[in-house]
Every structure is written in structure tokens, then in C-alpha cells.
Chain A
Amino acid sequence: MSDPFTTLGVPARFTFAAGELEQRHRDLSRTLHPDRYVSAPPSERRVALERAVAVNDAFRLLRDPLGRAQALLARHGHPLRDDERAPPSLLMEVMELREALDAARTKPDRVAALRAEVSARIASGERAVAMAFDGDGAPDAAALAKARAAVVMLRYLRRFEEEADALEG
């Protein structure tokens, strides 16, 4: 699978202007969507379909900050594995958060407070990723290591958010 930034034709960085990725996705969809090839030769229909699928997949990945961060790590030669282990301190922290969520099950105020706490942690993680990838030139080893640790944390916090969503039905 080719690099999603290249597929979407956008610079490989973390921060994008509001609507920028969406605009690019729309422009490419206008060109590649199967609706545009109803009376085209079959060879073109196939090629367009393949590319429309690739563009949709790249957009799905990049519109999500966590997906974008993981794609950037992969692009710089440090892809995260699916079973990437978290450091014990992070595991402990996430466990405590989950226990707190479990205890707050029936108290919407408490759940909202936990969510706010997690949102703040996510924002700080995203700042570390932006620091590494939004500058000119390739990130240095230290910034890359920080970004990588931040992405591992973001992945755990995402699962927490999903559990909180499920709680709210």
C-alpha cells in the first residue's frame, strides 16, 4: 500500500488547516469516483475504481489524528506494530483511568470529568507529534522517539474514549 500522504497529494505533516484534507478528498473524488466512469472503457473503470478506493482509504486514515500520527511514523521508518507494548507507567495510568470510568458508570458528571482529563492528555500527545513532524526537514531522533511514545499513549487513550462512548450508548 502506498503512502497515504502521497495518495492524497498532501504534504506529510501532522497539522492541517480546517477543511484542507476534506477539500482534497472532494477534488480527487470528483475525478476518480465510479459515477464519472459509467460510460468509460472497462480498463478505465477498473483503474479509476482502484484509485478511488485508495483515495478513500488514505482519507479515512489521515482525517483521524491518530491515523495520521501512525502514518507519519511509518513514513519515517518507525511504524508502530499492532501489538506494540506500552511502558509500565502508561499501562498503570490507563488501568486507573478505566477503573475510574467503571466506578463512574452511573454518574454522567464524573464520566464527563474523566473525558475532559483524557482530552487534555490527548492534546498534549498531539502537540508532541506536531513538534516532530510539522517543522522543515526530517525530525531528529529525539523528537521521533518522543512522538513515538506519544502515539503509543494516544492509542491507549483512544480505547478509553471508545469505552466511554459505549457507556453512553
Chain B
Amino acid sequence: MIVRDRSDRLTSARYDEAQDSMALLQIFDPKARPEPIGIDLGTTNSLVAHVVDGRATCVLDCDLSPLLPSVVHYASHGGVLVGAEARDLAAEHPRETLVSVKRFMGRGADDPETRRLGPYDFVSPREGESNTVRFRVRERVVTPVEVSAEILKVLKSRAESHLRTVGGAVITVPAYFDDAQRQATRDAARLAGLEVLRLLNEPTAAALAYGLDKGRTQGTFAVYDLGGGTFDITVLSLDDGVFQVRSTGGDSQLGGDDMDRAVALDALHAMGFEDLATVPPTLVRRALDAARAAKHALTDATETALTIERDGDAPYVRTLTRDDFDALVRPVVERTGPACRRALRDAGVKPEALDGVILVGGSTRVPLVRRYVKELFHHEPLADIDPDQVVAFGAALQADMLAGTGPREDALILDVIPLSLGIETMGGVAEKILPRNTTIPAGRAQQFTTYADNQTGFILHVVQGERELAADNRSLATFTLKGIPPMPAGAARLEVTFRVDADGLLSVGAKELTTGIEQHVEVKPSYGLEAEDVERMLMESFEFAEQDIAARQLRERVVEAEQVLGATQKALTIDGDLLDEDERAELEGALRALRDAMQSGDRQAIHLRTEGVDRAALPLAERRMNRAVQRAMSGHALQEFEEELKDRPVHPHLVGDGHTH
């Protein structure tokens, strides 16, 4: 059992208030706005939260618990169980019950680590299938993306049962997740029918919750986030409501699960098993469950009984003291040390210069972890927001800000890339294009040339990691560029652009500079699913098979067109003076054409006219941005600078020049 602390009760009290205000909303506003939600898709437990009157609260299940165990059971008649009921079936049906599926996200089927992680029936990919982990559960084969989607669906319906309409979601991911793992999370959300507003790093979400809750405006903090299966360390500074991540590090395969495994392994050895591979899966699951129960008990108690049921035999029982436990898990805890030291160095911060250390994740309840963190950072760690819920709170606050419903429009998160992104060059060396800890959104262009006469294609192998050799880093994808005009070797100038968006997701574009031709880029992910795989799963999934696909597509186009119409009209009303008469007439014409197309209900026409508005609105967009930048540069900040800079030579013609082109 998870130990409940006082903040759980606080949550339920706040929740009651939320229920009241929702009831009022339902009476007075039958067309209530969709409510944005925040989701913490955890290794062990998942949560969904939303914001009521500026405060984040978790949506509780019928047992008043905010936690949904991240366990999925595939039942014999094709049914799927998620949560506590599934977890209760794990010992009896270890192969049909997927526990800690997050650890498999974005990993390859051929990854030796993969099979170590659970007693499952792994299926190797068939010829032509993508290299992703696949589990056989009864008569079907599922991927980690589909299993995670089942968890997300339950969270979504949990939110829907409490809120009138659920809007977009912010979903948290470990900061140390690489591109493949992030992409897999996004795919899972798409399969679950969720609109993803943003993928948010878990430690950053926690910092947001702390910063906004405690009304802090300044300071440098370390966030130590040890969850069920992932470890993150993030150093960030908070300045006037801007949360700027200075460095991040971690291990996406380290967490409380590893403590359970250490304790279970020790018990199984004591029971006479030499090698974990020879232990029946059911016994492995029972030993892991017993280890976890003992770990929870030892948070408060100094000794506990570790009991493992055995078929046809008396249960194995032993007394486990906290000292025994500490000795067993110390190596796991100490594995967090090097990443912490490196993150401090990358941020250029000494432990003494920190204003605080925030604890996140259920595994930070372990007393040994708290002692270790205190030693490492020379600070008594902060844990006054429930470490199980704080990430979901942060996600909900961010969702609220993104949806524009929140009052805190001035808060802003500037996050970073956790691992360097690069490409494989001659000799298998990884050349870094965007180094780790680069602030996102980020981009970089790199030039290449052809090495053979009349070469019309180019293959780029994109890798992520810090090692010198490409082969030692994580392979992300192979990008094939085609359609380069025939030229002598070395004459082509190929510009490849890497772009990492605010979700931390990479995209690659290419252009041949001598001809200006945009190249077609084909992406073959090294791990995980291709875009078509996800589309196919979506089509195959029960919910969508029943729907008329054409009607759904038309609906999507109309929603998009309405959004473009509304937003463009608003921009034109506010800043219409930025356009000359001709430009204005053109944009208004495009808007009229889109309205006409929407009347017609022709999907293709709506799409074309939406693009038409987008093109015609570009001059307005550029000039509005110039105006906004000029305002930002000539606002209060500049006056402050001038105060500060009185004593030094200033080049006034450059200050406040907002043009970037």
C-alpha cells in the first residue's frame, strides 16, 4: 500500500470544493469550456489533475485515491483492466499483466536490457516491422505505446466523469527521456484520443507547482526526482516568473523498481534460487510485490516482515530491518550521485549556492534517499507537497496556462534538451549538432555536400547521447533525402536543419542551397512506431472503427478552420493598421473564401481555403511579431538596464532595435 500522508486528505477536501463550483458551472453555463488537464503518466502510478480557482487538484477515484496503478491486465475475453484490479491479478497472471510498461517505451526489441525488465512473453519483430518491444498477451500482440494508451484512456474517462468536457492535456515525461521515448508517449496519447497541449518534463512540472504554490519569485533549485522507474535531476532558476532550466541529467532506467528488485533478488537467493531466469514468473511477481510492501513499511517502521507466498509450500518469511534494507538498496541510491554532480557542474552551481532541493517521486519517501540527498546537496530537502502528486499538479497548472484560462500568464517555462543530438559522420563519429542543456525551442542548420558525381540521395543517421562514437549513442532515426539534382561531387550544398520544439521533439528538414529545392525527408525511426503504424492502430481501435471516418475528418477540418478564422480575425482587429490596403483586401478576401467553403461542407475546399488564409496572414504575423518584440525590448526592462548601465558606454542605436531580419 502507498502510505497516505496529510496532503492526501487536503486534496480530497479541496476536491469537495471543486465539486461544488463545478455544480454551479453546470447550472449557469451549459456550454462550459473544455477543461485542460494535466497527466502524470508514471512508471508505478498515474494521476490526472486539473485547476480550480487557481489551485491544482487531482481527480480522485471512487476510493478517494488520486493514484491509478500503471498496470494493465489483458483478460481472456479480450477485455482490458487497468489499475488496482489489474495489479491484483499480476501475481496470478504475470505474462498477461503488464507492470511498469513505461520502462519499455521507446526501446528496441533487440535491446538486451529489455528482457531483463519483466517476466513477459516478448515477440521479435517480423520482417519489415519496426524495431519496437512487443508483448504477447493471450491471443494478441501489443506494444508499450498501446499499453500506455490504455492507462491514458482510463485517466481521460476518470477526468470526464468529473468535468463536463475535457480539453487538451499536458502529459509529463522524465526529463531524461530521449526523443524516441517522448515520441512514444505522444503516440500513446494520440491512440487514447487525447489532444496533447505539451509534453512537460516531470522535474520542471514539480518546480512549477512549488514555485507557484509558494509564491516564490527568485532562486536556484535542484529537483531530485526518483520515481518507480526513472531518475531525473534538474537544476533550474526562477526569475520574475520564468522557470529557466539550467541543466538536467538522470537515468531513464533507474528507480524504486530497482530497489524492489534488489530486495526480491536477495530473498530469492535466500530461498535457494541461483539465477532469476529459473524462477517461475509467478514467484518473481510475488517476491517483487513483497519487496515493495516491505519498502513502504520501512518508511516509518524500523523493521518489518517480508512474506512471499509459495505454491504448495509454507510462505517464505523473514524479518527485514531498515539497516538490512538500506544495505541492499544503497547501490541503487548511489547510482544517482554522478548525474547530480554533473548537473550541478553543467549549471555552474555549487551546492551551497542553491536555495533549496525539491523531492519528487514516491521513491524519495525512502529515508536513505533523503539522507543521501541531504549529503549531496548540503540542504535539508523540501517535500511539503506530496511527492506523488506534485508532478500532476504542475502539469495541470501548465495546461491551465497554455489554454489561456489561468490567471498566471506571466509564468513561463524554458526547458532544455537532456542529451546532445547529433549525426553520424565519417568513421562512425557522432558530431553534436545541438548539445545537451540547449534551451528549447532550438534549431541549428548544418551544411553537407555530396561525395559522388550525380548523387541524388543522402542518408543521415541521427543519434542522441554524449559518447564519441555514434554506435555508443542512442540511434534515433535514419533520414533519407531524395531528389538532389545531378551535380558533380562536392558541388551540391545541402543544408540540413535540426529543430527541437517546445515538447522536446526533434524534426529534420533539408534544402539544396544551389537550386533552392526543398528535399523530401523520409523518417525511419530506429525504435518505436512509424506515423502510419499509429494511424493504423487508431483505425483498428474499437472507438474509431464504429465511427464514420469521413465525418471525423470533416469535423477536424472544420474545427481547424474555425480556429484559424477566429484567431486571424482577432489579430486583424487589433493590429490591422500594420497592413496596407492591398494586403488587407487580400487577407479579407481569403477569410471570406474560407467562410464560403465552410458553408459548402467540402472537406478539401475547407483545407485549401484554410491554407489560403494562412498564406495571406503571413505579412500580418511577421509585423505583429516585430511590434511585440519592440514592446518587449522597450518596456520596463530597458529602463532598468539604463539605470544599471549609467556608468558604461552604451550604443543607444542598438538598444531596442527589435528587427531580427
A residues near B, CB below 8 A? Answer: 1-2, 5-7, 9-13, 15, 17, 20, 22-24, 26-36, 38-44, 46-49, 51-57, 59-60, 134-136, 165, 169
Contact = CB atoms under 8 A, between A and B. Distances in A.
A26 B244 contact: yes
Contacts of A36: 412
Judged by DSSP, the binding face of A is helix
Contacts of B239: 22, 26
Interface in B497-514: 499, 501-502
B661 A38 contact: no
B618 interface: yes
A41 B567 contact: yes
Contacts of A6: 654, 657, 659-660
A51 B627 CA distance: 13
Contacts, number: 149
B401 interface: yes
Given A11-B651, A24-B637, A60 B617 contact: no
Interface string B402-423: 1110000010111000000000
7 contacts: A24-B637, A39-B563, A40-B567, A41-B621, A43-B620, A49-B501, A53-B441
Contacts of B341: 169
A27 B568 CA distance: 25
Contact of A28 (B404, B621, B632): B632
B442 A44 contact: no
B154 interface: no
A9 to B, nearest CB: 5
A39 B439 contact: no
B44 to A, nearest CB: 29
Nearest to A52: B441
Contact of A31 (B444, B628, B661): B628
Contact of A44 (B413, B625, B651): B625
Nearest to A46: B621
A27 B637 contact: yes
Given A27-B633, A28-B632, A28-B633, A43 B654 contact: no
B197 A38 contact: yes
B645 interface: yes
Nearest to B629: A31
Contacts of A54: 660
A34 B200 CA distance: 13
Given A6-B657, A41-B614, A51-B629, A57 B444 contact: yes
A31 to B, nearest CB: 4
Given A9-B656, A17-B644, A27 B571 contact: no
B338 interface: yes
Contacts of B568: 41
Contacts of A51: 625, 629, 660
A27 B632 contact: yes
A70 B631 CA distance: 29
A60 B338 contact: no
A42 B564 contact: yes
Contacts of B640: 23
B501 A29 contact: no
Contacts of A41: 564, 567-568, 571, 613-614, 617, 621
Contacts of B660: 2, 6-7, 51, 54-55
B622 A47 contact: yes
A66 B282 CA distance: 59
Closest CB pairs A-B (n = 4): A43-B621, A53-B443, A11-B651, A31-B632
Contacts of B648: 15, 17, 134
Contacts of A47: 618, 621-622, 625
Nearest to A60: B438
Nearest to B239: A26
B452 interface: no
Contacts of B197: 38
Contacts of B410: 30
Contacts of A30: 242, 410, 412, 632
B485 to A, nearest CB: 25
B351 interface: no
Nearest to B438: A60
